Amino acid sequence: MVWGENDGLIPARCMDTWLKDLNPEWKDRHHAVLIKNVGHCPQLEAPWITSAVVGQILKNRIPASWGGQWWKVLQ
Protein backbone atom coordinates (compact mmCIF):
# COMPACT_ATOMS: atom_id res chain seq x y z
CA MET A 1 0.00 0.00 0.00
CA VAL A 2 1.37 3.42 -0.97
CA TRP A 3 0.05 6.44 0.90
CA GLY A 4 0.75 10.17 0.87
CA GLU A 5 1.94 11.55 4.21
CA ASN A 6 -0.24 14.66 3.86
CA ASP A 7 -3.32 12.95 2.39
CA GLY A 8 -6.26 15.21 3.23
CA LEU A 9 -8.91 12.92 1.75
CA ILE A 10 -7.98 9.69 3.59
CA PRO A 11 -5.49 10.53 6.36
CA ALA A 12 -2.39 8.39 6.77
CA ARG A 13 -3.57 7.38 10.25
CA CYS A 14 -6.11 5.14 8.43
CA MET A 15 -3.36 2.87 7.07
CA ASP A 16 -3.41 0.51 10.03
CA THR A 17 -7.13 -0.13 9.56
CA TRP A 18 -6.69 -0.84 5.86
CA LEU A 19 -3.76 -3.19 6.50
CA LYS A 20 -5.74 -5.12 9.14
CA ASP A 21 -8.54 -5.76 6.66
CA LEU A 22 -6.36 -7.21 3.91
CA ASN A 23 -6.34 -10.94 3.24
CA PRO A 24 -4.81 -12.62 6.34
CA GLU A 25 -3.24 -15.33 4.15
CA TRP A 26 -0.94 -12.66 2.72
CA LYS A 27 -0.18 -11.01 6.06
CA ASP A 28 3.58 -11.56 5.74
CA ARG A 29 3.51 -9.72 2.40
CA HIS A 30 1.60 -6.63 3.57
CA HIS A 31 3.59 -3.44 3.80
CA ALA A 32 2.61 0.18 3.77
CA VAL A 33 4.85 2.85 2.34
CA LEU A 34 4.30 6.43 3.37
CA ILE A 35 5.53 8.88 0.72
CA LYS A 36 6.74 12.01 2.51
CA ASN A 37 5.54 15.54 1.69
CA VAL A 38 2.76 14.51 -0.71
CA GLY A 39 -1.03 14.35 -0.46
CA HIS A 40 -3.70 12.04 -1.86
CA CYS A 41 -2.08 11.53 -5.30
CA PRO A 42 1.60 10.63 -4.79
CA GLN A 43 1.74 9.29 -8.36
CA LEU A 44 1.02 12.83 -9.61
CA GLU A 45 2.78 14.88 -6.93
CA ALA A 46 6.03 12.87 -6.85
CA PRO A 47 5.95 10.42 -9.78
CA TRP A 48 9.68 9.60 -9.69
CA ILE A 49 9.54 8.65 -6.01
CA THR A 50 6.28 6.75 -6.35
CA SER A 51 7.59 4.79 -9.33
CA ALA A 52 10.73 3.81 -7.40
CA VAL A 53 8.57 2.49 -4.55
CA VAL A 54 6.07 0.70 -6.79
CA GLY A 55 8.92 -0.82 -8.83
CA GLN A 56 10.34 -2.41 -5.70
CA ILE A 57 6.91 -3.64 -4.60
CA LEU A 58 6.28 -5.25 -8.00
CA LYS A 59 9.58 -7.12 -7.60
CA ASN A 60 8.32 -8.44 -4.23
CA ARG A 61 10.88 -6.33 -2.39
CA ILE A 62 10.45 -3.96 0.51
CA PRO A 63 11.47 -0.49 -0.73
CA ALA A 64 15.09 0.20 0.16
CA SER A 65 16.05 2.03 3.32
CA TRP A 66 18.20 4.47 1.30
CA GLY A 67 14.92 6.13 0.30
CA GLY A 68 14.32 7.25 3.87
CA GLN A 69 14.38 10.90 2.93
CA TRP A 70 11.47 10.30 0.54
CA TRP A 71 9.51 7.44 2.10
CA LYS A 72 8.94 5.41 5.23
CA VAL A 73 8.11 1.70 5.21
CA LEU A 74 5.54 0.61 7.78
CA GLN A 75 4.60 -2.97 8.55
Give the pLDDT confidence of 10-58 residue by residue, as tens digits: 998 888 888 777 767 766 667 789 999 999 999 999 999 999 999 998 8
Domain positions in the chain? 2-74
Enclosing H/E stretch for 34: strand 32-35
C-alpha distance across the termini of the chain, in Å: 10
Q: Under 8 Å CB-to-CB from 41, ≥6 apart: which residues?
A: 4
**Alpha-carbon radius of gyration of the chain:** 12
| Cβ pair 73, 63 in contact under 8 A | yes
At residue 44, the pLDDT reads: 96
| Cβ pair 15, 74 in contact under 8 A | yes
